[in-house]
Each structure stands twice: as C-alpha cells, then as structure tokens.
Structure 1
Amino acid sequence: MAREAQVSARTVSRVLNDEPRISAPTRERVLQAVARLGYRRNAMARNMRVGARDSAVGLVIPDLANPFFSVVAAAVERTLRTRGLYVVIASSEEDPARERAVVTDMLGRQVAALVVVPSGDDHAYLRLERRRGLPVVFLDRPPNRLAADAFVSANTDGAHQAVTHLLAHGHRRIGFIGDRPTTLYTRRERFRGYRSALAQAGIAVDPALVDRGHHENDAAEATVRLLSAVDPPTAVFAANNLACMGAMMALARARRRDVALVGFDDFTLADVFDPGITVVAQDPHGLGTAAAERVFARLDGDRGRARTTVLATRLIVRGSGEISAS
C-alpha cells in the first residue's frame, strides 16, 4: 500500500485513521491507492493490537427463525446504526451452554457492548466485564445472578388479561400451552398470569389442562392432547406466538370452530384468518429500540444503577377469543 502510494507506512496509517496534519494531495494519493488495491481494514486485528473496543455490538437471541426475535433484532440494528455501530448476531438455540460460548466469543472480538436474550439461569460469568464498564443489556428476559439493565414485556399482566377475556365469554375450562422448559422466565410469568386470572374467578388450575409446546408442531400436538381429554377445554391460551400458530393449526385440521383461542404475541397474518386471532401483543420494536438506546447511554458514560424496564402489552380483539363457551 505504502509503495503504491509512494509514501511511508506511517503516513498510510495516519490517513486510514483520519488523523490531522496530512496534506490534501497526500491524502488523496493514499485513498486512490486504497481504491486501486481494494484494501479493507481489519478492525479486529487493530483492536487486538491497540486494546480498543470494536464498533460492533454483540446480539444474542434464542431463535433466528422466530418472527418476534427477528423484529427485535431489526430494531436493535436499525437504532445502533444511527450512531455508526453495527451488530454481530448469534443464536443460542435456547441452550445455556451455547449462549455462554457465543458470548465468550463476542467478548474475545472486543465488542463495544452486549445485548442478550438469555437462555441460561446464571450470568455471573459477566460480572468482570460489567465491572470493567462493558455495557450489557438483557432483552425479553432478565439476567440471573448479575446486576444489568433489562427490558421485558408485562408478561404476567398480559396473560392475566388474556385469560380474563376468555372468562368473560363464559369459559371455565381454559387450556394453557406454554414454553419448554417450564423454568423459562417468560413461560413462568405468563403461567402466573393464567393462574391469577383463574384464581380471581374462583377456579383452581387443573393440571390436565396445562401442556407444553414451544414450536408449532409441539403446540399442535399439545392442542390435540388437550382436546382429546375426557373433560376438554372450551378455550385455549397459547403463551407464545409459535404455540399459538400450532394451536391454530390443530384446531383448523380438526375443523373445530367452537374452541376459543387467545395467543400471547402478535404475528403476521393473524388478522386474515376466519376468525382472526385474538392476541396479547408485545412491542418487539420498542424492546429492541429501548435496549439499543440504553447501550448508547452506557457508552456515553451513564454509570447509574442497573434497572429493569417493563413495556406494556395490549389485547387485540379479532374474533377467535370471543367465541363463547357452549
């Protein structure tokens, strides 16, 4: 590069790092050489050499194919881009060991910050990085054994509203289809809302009406099991978007239009079915945007205490949740 531009290697470095006191003709000559040779800066190598943080932010999500997390990731990326930061994204596949492995890899790449949708239940391994000032923001689920910023939805309140809505339409046997594992934060909080709504109506939870199904096929099978019971539910609360899709598939295949359905989290085309799917909608765009803005605040020097922010949900009535109990 220096030979091509007929300057010293030091001068090339100063031009590429946009340092002052380089004459316009020299700068232009170096940039023309860069263009001719197709040079690309190795930011990672530079950061390792000088001990600097990269302009990348690591984003860890459980499932790249899940529409909810796709919207979250897009919002994080779009917001960070306004400040010249870019996203390095990886999937934990809901595996705590993999989550820790990809986070460790990102730390080795000297990312400027981390945004994590946690799958594990122990994030103490990030304490040293937090003490060193690395911004770490958790999304959708809070961390465990670590004080860090988090942005979550009003899971318990949203689930309570969904089940109360079904109760208002005369349902007393309401099935619950939630995440696997049952210890997952969102599953636990949404089950709490389900239970509290039933308790408010004087109804005890029937274990025979509770099943697991995180993905569409699992949830479809769970729905079939619930409907095949001796005393089946007249309504189903599906505690995530994929579970709702699976329940909807099972009901359609069985030609059951007499079973009410409310899902947690909206999804594409939920409004075009007959009837449309009633859902408790989260705000994935708001979650992602807020997390990225907190990264900005931390990078700008905010050393305030870590805090958890809860974003409201809203019930969207479309028809499936308004089927009355027969």
Structure 2
Amino acid sequence: MAVTSLSGESRPRATMRDVAALAGVSLKTVSRVVNEEAGVSPDVRERVAAAVQRLDYRPNLAASNLRRTGARSGLIGALVQDVSNSFSAGLLRSLEDAARSHRTGVLAASLDEGVDREQELVHDLVTRRVDGLVLMPASDRQDYLVAELRTGTPAVFVDRPPRGVDVDSVVIDNLLGGRMAAEHLLDRGHRRIAALFHLPTLTTAQLRREGFTAAHTDRGLRPDPRLVVDGVASTDEASEVVHRLLDLDDPPTAVFAGRNILASGAVRALRERGVHHEVALVGFDDFPLADLLDPPLTVVRQDVTKIGRLVAERLFARIGGDTSPPQHLVVDPTLVSRGSGEIPPRA
C-alpha cells in the first residue's frame, strides 16, 4: 500500500524490514521494541524508535496479535439495533473504553431490526476473525450461531436475551421498567394512560407492555385498549399516534413512551398541540438534552455504562478462557422524575 507525504509524493508504506535496515538491527529486535518486550538495551530501543519515527512506520497490530496468540485478532464485533440511537451509542462507548484496556478495537454496525442483515454481519465479522461478538439480536432465534460458538468464538447478548443458544447476556429488567412508568402515572391520579411500544416481536417491547399492564391489574384497573399502541417504529410514527390519540372524544391525560425515539415523537406531538404542560409523559430510556426540554422529561433510565461494563467483563473473560456456565445478568432500571411525568390529570 502506498502512502502520501505532506508534499503530495506517494511512497510505499514502510515495513519492519525497512526499520531494521535503517536502525542496523535484526527483525526480531524491531519486533521486540514494537511489541514492548524485554531483552533490548536502551540505546538500541532509541535507535529503533528513531527509525520508526523517520520512516512513519505503523505496525500491523492484527498480524502481530495473531502471531503472538495464534488466534487473536485484537478486534471484537458489536452489532446493535442502530449506532445513532443514544442507547446504542452509549453502550458502544462503554465497550470501547473497556476494550481499550485490553488493546482491542471494536467493529460496530447497525442491524436496523433486519434478520437477514444480522446473519450477514455476523458472518462478515467471523470471517474477519474477531475475538468475540456482542449482539443485540433482531432475530427470534439465534441457532445459526451454534457453529461459531462451537469453534470457539464467544458471544455476549445485550438488551435482548438469547434464544436457541445459551450464552452470556446482560439485559435491563424491562418488566420492572414498564411497571415503574405506569405506577408513577397511576400514583398521580391518571387513569387514561396511553402507551406506545416498539415491535411486538421484540422481547423488550413485550416485557415493557406486560409491566405496564401489570401495574394496572394490581390496582383492579384495565388499560383502555384504544390507548395502547404496538408496532410504533419511529419518531414520526410516534408523533402521528399521539396526535390521533389526542383527537379521541376522551383523550389520554398521560402518555408512556416505551422507547427513547418514541418519547421524542410524543414530545413533538404534545408541543404541536400546545398541551405539553397538561398531558403527563414518561419515556423509557434517557437521551441527551431530555433534561432541558420544557417540561424536562421524566424517564425510566437504563444504566448504559454499567450494562456496557458488564458485557465487556463477560466477553473478555470468555476470550481469556473462562468456561464457566453462561451468566444471565439483569440490571434494574431507575425512574428519574424531572417534571413531565408529574403533571396531574386535567380536572
């Protein structure tokens, strides 16, 4: 591969052999210096370092890792629903921080809830010899991973539990989160509570809906089925749904948005109708600037940093040779009261 200098001239990328020739040492000595191994005198290290700098040499870390370990690439793959979503972005950042301490890079991609895309990307990452996988699955079952797991590629599931395979997983208590949101609104006197949920095929949406319903059932209540809407997949759809619900003869006095992008759509609709200080709103998942809205958004918050840390701990333990039974970790959410969820029902 050619590189271009600041003057615009193109020249071949320097190799370890070039560094050895300029420093007047062996290839093995250059390898020891580059990989920070012992057995090289200070003056020789200085000569090699000077040659590296003069030649703009960049070591092939992937090849180096493979030589030293016989199997490692120094890369992990992370497949999430959407890398632009604040939850996914926070998760990836937490993984990146943990991976850096293991001198490992992260290859990330969005699944966009595509089953075929999930399998294609997993195959692509495995062929690139990633050391492990982090997966937020879009598929109903993940039996297709059996062969990869059998050959030693560890995987940790996040946000959604595995089905068809038994591997480590880290998820939020979605049932509890849905219950917390509904109870918060019921405690403030709301009885006509609208609820927006993502795709009903997803475990997260199913459990948040079950928690929402259970909070009503515990009080001898039943949510109005006209106010509970499944399959809301985007901010725009959420906004349209809330507008439609507000047009009912007996509109909701509160809204629970079961996902951060749905909360954004609900905020927009309430503001467009001029009722954002009259209709209560609780969202699931926090997102940047939610606390600066008018009113500030009350949310069921997931500890994304903790989730990412636990995922990384399990993955790097498996990469390091841990063969203990799979662990299925569940993290409790917290409800953050900011104002929107504390608006009382209209008289």
Fold match by TM threshold 0.5: yes
Query: For residues 42-81 of structure 1, what are the structure 2 equivalents within 5 Å?
Result: 42-45=60-63, 51-81=70-100
1:129 counterpart (132, 148, 151): 148
Work out the percentage of aligned pairs sharing the same amino acid: 43
Mapped pair 1:141 → 2:131:
no
Counterpart in 2 of 1:106?
Answer: 125
Kept in 2, the 8 Å contact 1:4–1:33? The answer is yes
Q: Per-residue deviation at 1:263?
A: 0.9
Bigger shift: 266-275 or 1-10?
1-10
Aligned pairs for 1:102-251 within 5 A: 102-179=121-198, 181-211=199-229, 212-251=231-270
Deviates more, 1:158-167 or 1:201-210: 201-210
Match of 2:280 among 260, 263, 266: 260
Distance 1:221 1:30, change over 3 A: same
Alignment equivalent of 1:308, drawn from 319, 328, 334: 328
Aligned-residue CA RMSD (Å): 2.3
**Equivalent-residue separation in structure 2 for 1:252 and 1:150 (angstroms):** 39
* 1:87 partner SS: strand
CA contact (8 A) 1:47 1:110 kept: no
- Per-residue CA distance 1:39-73 (angstroms, 9 max, x = gap): 22334456678852111221111111111111111
Q: Is the partner of 1:120 in helix, strand or coil?
A: coil
String of CA shifts for 1:252-275, please: whole Å, max 9, x gaps. 110013211111112222223333
Corresponding residue SS for 2:140: coil
CA distance in 2, matches of 1:100, 1:143: 14
Q: Does the CA contact (< 8 Å) of 2:193 and 2:223 recur in 1?
A: no
Q: TM-score, normalised by structure 2?
A: 0.85
Indicate yes or no: 2:323 matched with 1:292. Answer: no
The question of 1:318 aligning with 2:338 is answered yes
In the alignment, the residues of structure 2 paired with residue 21 and residue 276 of structure 1 have an alpha-carbon distance, to the nearest angstrom, of 60
- Aligned counterparts of 1:22 and 1:258: Cα–Cα separation in 2: 72
CA contact (8 A) 1:123 1:146 kept: yes
CA displacement, residues 172-197 of structure 1 (integer Å, 9 cap, x when unaligned):
22111111x22112111101111111
Instruction: Identify the range of structure 1 (152-161 vs 289-298) with the bigger mean alpha-carbon deviation.
Output: 289-298
Greater relative contact order (CA < 8 Å, ≥ 6 in sequence): 1
Residue 84 to residue 42, structure 1, CA distance change in 2 (3 Å): closer
| C-alpha distance in 1 between matches for 2:64 and 2:40 | 21
**TM-fit CA distance, 1:306:** 0.8
List per-residue Cα deviations over 1:252-308 (Å, max 9, x = no partner): 110013211111112222223333222111111110111111123223332111121
Cα separation, partners in 2 of 1:24 and 1:321, compared to 1, 3 Å = closer
C-alpha displacement of 1:37: 2.1
Structure 1 20/269 Cα, relative in aligned 2: closer, same or farther at 3 Å? closer
- Structure 1 counterpart of 2:14: none
Unaligned runs of 5+ in 1: none
8 Å CA contact 1:116–1:137 kept in 2: the answer is yes
Q: Show the counterpart of 2:52.
A: 34
Gapped regions of structure 2 (runs ≥ 5): 1-17
Q: Using the alignment, how far apart are the partners of 1:316 and 1:20 within structure 2?
A: 52
Range with bigger deviation, 94-103 or 241-250: 94-103
Asked if structure 1 preserves the Cα contact closer than 8 Å seen for 2:143 and 2:165, the reply is yes
The separation in 1 between residues aligned to 2:32 and 2:184, in whole angstroms, is 65
TM-score by length of 1: 0.90
SS at match of 1:271: helix
> What amino acid maps onto 1:228 in structure 2?
D
Partner SS, residue 196 of structure 2: strand
Q: Is the 8 A contact 2:77 2:107 kept in 1?
A: yes
What letter matches 1:84 in structure 2?
R
Alpha-carbon contact 1:263-1:278 (below 8 Å) kept? yes
Between 47-56 and 205-214, report the one with greater CA deviation: 47-56
Q: Deviations over 1:116-138 (max 9, x none)?
A: 22222222222223233332111
